[in-house]
Amino acid sequence: MLAFGLTIVRHGETQCNKDGLLQGQKIDSPLSEIGIRQSEAAGQYLRDVKFTNVFVSDMKRAKQTAEIIVRNNRTCHDIELVADRSLKERSFGIAEGGRVIEMKNMAKAAGQPLPEFTPPEGETVEQVKVRIKDFLKAMMQRIANDHQDKVQDGETCISDETSWAPAGLPDDGVLNVSVHALVVGHGAYMSIMMRHFFEDLKCPVGRCSDPAQQFSICPNTGMCRFIITLKCSNAGFELSDMKCVFINRRDHVKAD
């Protein structure tokens, strides 16, 4: 068995976020000044939390956020950032570059809830889930390869809820976990990832969140954390257990 922490962070604010515009994949915006401050605050919040692996979308806003967080970290400021195209934001097709309210109106006209609506030339939720599954498989394989020395026989000690239940601290759930991955990505993608975790993989919500907020869009530099246990063997690995520590936490960000 190999247990590891997984902390997922949305990128900081961009000017498009501030202006209510859809970026998707075609608009590769850098962080705004507020986004830089948010990322610095996230880095300071996580400065004493050790990461052994970092994965990031190859889009500017995510890479810039990850670089700032890692630079602020006291234990892994020189860690490799693995850029992965499968972490890109969801494509919104012809709606990209337009206002979010315009896509809401398109969804309403189509008689569909916004999260389910796919603009022409955009990605469906199921297509994004394929990318999420590809990323998770590659990430878990990388972690299993990098940390073979951490594999334990039998059950891991993470099964005790008191060891991972949130207490409102930056190291909630990962204080006694020696392997910890940071992933920096995008809002719509993260929302679909949460649906995959809770609905498809049956991760229990537990005390990590108000169930009504499970699939809401994570705020800029908001954070989600899970504890994942892999069953490792000579034949490979498989997901054994998943626990939610918290979702959409933004204690580090002050109102701008």
17 is annotated as contributing to ligand binding: yes
* Residue 25 labeled ligand binder: no
15 in a known ligand binding site: yes
Residue 225 near residue 5, CB atoms below 8 Å: yes
Edge-to-edge strands, sheet with 236-249: 81-84, 53-57, 180-185, 2-10, 223-233, 236-249
> Is 218 annotated as a binding-site member?
no
Q: Does the annotation list 97 as a binding residue?
A: no
Q: 111: which residues sit within 8 A by CB, 6+ positions away? A: none
Is 232 annotated in a binding site? The answer is: no
Tell me if 16 is assigned to a ligand binding site.
yes
Residue given tokens 């972490």 in the structure block: 87
Residues 6 or more apart whose CB falls under 8 angstroms from that of 155 comprise 1
The structure tokens listed for 241 are 């257990």
- Residues designated catalytic: 11, 89
Task: Say if residue 61 carries a ligand binding annotation.
Answer: yes
Strands 53-57, 180-185: pairing is parallel
DSSP-H helix ranges across 147-197: 187-195
Going by the annotation, the residues of the binding site are 10-17, 61
Going by the annotation, the residues of the binding site for substrate are 10-17, 61
